[in-house]
Chain A
């Protein structure tokens, strides 16, 4: 076949350009360490990587949420432990107070400590979390949940009436794709909606208040002991549920962690360059370019005019 001089030149030039462009691509891959430089290199993997990146971000956020929930729950745990300790001390005082060995004066003295414990309990119930929100006021984080609302006279004795200004909203945090865990309990369940020795609703403050009134007026009965016993049982139950939520958070944290590792592996498989393969390719492309250049040099020297 007849070939024009121009086509011969163009062909050698084109083959060099082609080799160069392949070499350039490989070079970019090696420089960035990435297999996919733009979505057109692998459209499916590019779309998938958007998804994977989102999952990665999401799960990292779940991990953050978990540590947040843990901090709130640990705080609640501590508060409840203290509250139970207070109740146990109050129960001891109740036992002492109902003993026949104590006279009215001594009972008065006991009542002073009971009143102190009551203040402590009120302090616990009005604890704030790290954000400055009241831990036990439900959704109304800025509202001080517990306080004395007034007094009532029953049988000639004056009792305090306690009130709850929080609400019954339980806050939950997203800790997994389909998992939400409550990061606190509202004060209504913890301190208000308790049952006394007779199974009648009574709040914990009223229980302690009733006991101190009885001690102060020397009309101690066995009911306060029963009340406190019930309150301890109910608070311990809530404390147990907090503990089990903390455990669940630990489990979820490690599940999330595993998932994150898997996502990163998949992303690495999809995006990262196989260096051995790329370097082999680079070498063969370099050899190809060199050969094309040499061929060009040799072919260009050929001309019949050299012999005329």
Chain B
């Protein structure tokens, strides 16, 4: 009977435990990372007797956490990748939206600027038209600056996010080191039984860590886990946590890099962190933000340079050759903070059409040789001296590197161009709308024909390569000889200029050089021997719009990307590129979210609490408890029966 009482009590205690655990499950139904628990029941050691072994009841042998390590690790992986996709998408959409807004984008300003240029061509002497053109030029420059500033703001935001995330990772690493320690102590105290709720807490922390970086774990015998991030950098080993820190990128001071350990001496692990929000931020900076800044800068640089070049070939209202209209951004390279000196290579833009969007790592080998590595294609150019790369002449000889020096640069010619572009001209009369030179039939002091010409020849267009020849010391005189089909040049020029009316009518002539400038003429008609023409300095040409027309033509001319794309075309390509990347990010995010939800559902299917199930268990354990209580009552009855039997 004592046995009966003992067995009944064992059942009561065991089911009390089971009911406790069920109630624990129910109360934690909404606890994040909670894994449901089960009490394992075992029979107690039976008692041997002559008749064999009599069972001694039940005991709770273990409280087990229902858990599948593989599924949990899978969930971490998908958490990392979907967080990367989310951050990447979130940041990319910002640029996408910035460029989408027609009021904010560059296109309307470009259109207005070139329209106003046409108005100057319509009435070159009109000061209001010239003033309007300066205003549109100013708002175009403002628009460049505005969009550039928004892109910089996004970089700041990305940098801040990186800093915040590193702070989070550090906090998590410390918590994980502490909880590792706690688990090993608790486990030792419990004789190797796992402290389930602490394990859940640790898993939750690891999952939070995987939101920021790629995480891998290795279990230790004492219940601790060692935690590695990125491609195997130890973050938490046992109860020790390593801190991450932030420092400026080796080349770009306006860009944060993630460092393992000491911010001054630790290795830069930015490129190794893989997925997670850190990966998303870095990915965005590398693949969306920087390329957008570079192509946008190329637009600024290309426009300023091409416009200035044409503007210099014109004459302003005060009879001066055109000066710089825009402040043309200079090509840029960025030196490593490890360089021996702060010297930079001398960079000169030589060909706008050849400007690319690739970045180059320019490096001194520490002996004598320089090389340039295209960071996209990995193609290497070596040795460098004065070498033209993508339309930019790079001169490394001015640095004067000697053996033992360390020099590394990133050549990114247009990275800051959208910030650096400016407007130089503020005086409407300085717009060079007229041509530098003018030509026509030779005339005397009264403007009457000198010869006069008997033929029908005329000079329709004068093309000059630069303005070095202006002003000419004397007019260029041209006298036709229809035997040799050429003009004999005189005055400022010498030699002959071939013109055969049968084949050269309306064609641009061969170039001839005056004062270092090459001149070409478009001639037409049938001149006769002795007919004279002059080409001379233009002056007082307030109604002359020839250069304004040429400037206006730049608006639709293919001056960028190897001469295949206009300014608007290049801007359109940039929008399409950002749009396509954002669209891609959207698709990836969708896919990653689905995968994440599935992984979470799989983990939850194993470890999550189902209230109906717990209700059923509650009922089951309650019934068992009641039955065991009944056993005690039965034992009491038996005992009473015995007492009654002997009570006399």
Instruction: Determine how close the nearest CB of chain A comes to the CB of B457; give it in whole angstroms.
Output: 12
- Most chain B CB atoms below 10 A, which of A2, A14, A60: A2
Question: A69 CA to B549 CA in the complex, in Å?
Answer: 14
Chain B 266-297: CB-based contact to A (< 8 A → 1; otherwise 0): 00000000000000000000000000000000
Question: A188 CA to B608 CA in the complex, in Å?
Answer: 97
Which of B99, B122, B576 touches A64 (beta carbons < 8 Å)? Answer: B122
Residues in B515-561 with C-beta less than 8 Å from chain A: 538-546, 549, 552-553, 555-556
For B608, the chain A residues whose CB sits under 8 A away are 3-7
**Contact A47 B610, beta carbon cutoff 8 Å:** no
Question: A166 CA to B443 CA in the complex, in Å?
Answer: 11
Supposing A3-B610, A6-B604, A142-B125 touch, asked if A165 and B576 sit within 8 A by C-beta, the answer is no
**Is B126 part of the contact surface with A, judged by Cβ < 8 Å?**
yes
**Contact B115 A4, beta carbon cutoff 8 Å:** no
- Most chain B CB atoms below 10 A, which of A49, A61, A166, A303: A61
**Contact B543 A42, beta carbon cutoff 8 Å:** no
**Is A192 part of the contact surface with B, judged by Cβ < 8 Å?**
yes
**Is B586 part of the contact surface with A, judged by Cβ < 8 Å?**
yes
**Is A276 part of the contact surface with B, judged by Cβ < 8 Å?**
no
For B97, the chain A residues whose CB sits under 8 A away are 38
**Is A139 part of the contact surface with B, judged by Cβ < 8 Å?**
yes
Supposing A6-B604, A305-B611 touch, asked if A51 and B569 sit within 8 A by C-beta, the answer is yes
**Is B582 part of the contact surface with A, judged by Cβ < 8 Å?**
yes
**Is B4 part of the contact surface with A, judged by Cβ < 8 Å?**
no
Residue of A nearest to B577 (CB): A43
Which of A38, A47, A166 touches B573 (beta carbons < 8 Å)? Answer: A47
**Is A171 part of the contact surface with B, judged by Cβ < 8 Å?**
yes
For A305, the chain B residues whose CB sits under 8 A away are 611, 615
Name which of B331-339, B343-351, B432-440, B477-485 contacts chain A: B432-440
Which of A54, A138, A168 touches B568 (beta carbons < 8 Å)? Answer: A54
Chain B 426-459: CB-based contact to A (< 8 A → 1; otherwise 0): 0000000011001111010111110010000001
> Number of A residues contacting the other chain (C-beta, 8 Å)?
71
8 tightest CB-CB pairs across the interface, nearest first?
A: A4-B608, A141-B543, A168-B440, A139-B544, A39-B579, A164-B447, A43-B579, A163-B446
For A168, the chain B residues whose CB sits under 8 A away are 438-441, 459
**Contact A46 B576, beta carbon cutoff 8 Å:** yes
Residue of A nearest to B462 (CB): A169
Chain B 95-127: CB-based contact to A (< 8 A → 1; otherwise 0): 011011000000110111011001101111110
**Contact B542 A141, beta carbon cutoff 8 Å:** yes
**Is A201 part of the contact surface with B, judged by Cβ < 8 Å?**
yes
For A209, the chain B residues whose CB sits under 8 A away are none
Which of A41, A47, A61, A69 touches B115 (beta carbons < 8 Å)? Answer: A61
**Is A29 part of the contact surface with B, judged by Cβ < 8 Å?**
no
Instruction: Determine how close the nearest CB of chain B comes to the CB of A129; give it in whole angstroms.
Output: 8
**Contact A131 B440, beta carbon cutoff 8 Å:** no
Supposing A7-B605, A166-B447 touch, asked if A133 and B575 sit within 8 A by C-beta, the answer is no
**Contact A169 B435, beta carbon cutoff 8 Å:** yes
Q: Apart from A42-B579, A48-B572, A134-B543, what 6 extra A-B contacts exist at CB < 8 Å?
A: A57-B115, A65-B122, A138-B544, A164-B446, A174-B552, A304-B616
For A44, the chain B residues whose CB sits under 8 A away are 576
- Most chain B CB atoms below 10 A, which of A42, A172, A304: A304
Q: Is the interface of B mostly helix, strand, loop or mixed?
A: helix
**Is B255 part of the contact surface with A, judged by Cβ < 8 Å?**
no
Question: A180 CA to B549 CA in the complex, in Å?
Answer: 9
For B573, the chain A residues whose CB sits under 8 A away are 47
**Is B402 part of the contact surface with A, judged by Cβ < 8 Å?**
no
**Is A230 part of the contact surface with B, judged by Cβ < 8 Å?**
no
User: Can you identify 30 A-B contacts, CB atoms within 8 angstroms?
Assistant: A2-B613, A6-B608, A7-B600, A38-B93, A38-B582, A39-B578, A39-B582, A40-B579, A41-B583, A43-B578, A43-B583, A46-B579, A50-B569, A50-B571, A50-B572, A54-B556, A64-B119, A69-B122, A138-B544, A139-B542, A142-B125, A162-B448, A163-B445, A165-B447, A167-B438, A167-B440, A168-B440, A177-B556, A193-B452, A303-B611
Chain A 158-185: CB-based contact to B (< 8 A → 1; otherwise 0): 0001111111110111100100100000
Which of B440, B568, B611 touches A50 (beta carbons < 8 Å)? Answer: B568
**Contact A139 B579, beta carbon cutoff 8 Å:** no
Supposing A3-B610, A65-B122 touch, asked if A37 and B543 sit within 8 A by C-beta, the answer is no
Question: A2 CA to B608 CA in the complex, in Å?
Answer: 9
Chain A 117-160: CB-based contact to B (< 8 A → 1; otherwise 0): 00000000000000111100111111100000110000000000
Which of A39, A132, A133, A304 touches B612 (beta carbons < 8 Å)? Answer: A304
**Contact A161 B542, beta carbon cutoff 8 Å:** no
Residue of B nearest to A1 (CB): B605
**Is B30 part of the contact surface with A, judged by Cβ < 8 Å?**
yes
Residue of A nearest to B31 (CB): A6
Question: A43 CA to B566 CA in the complex, in Å?
Answer: 18
Which of A40, A65, A142, A193 touches B118 (beta carbons < 8 Å)? Answer: A65
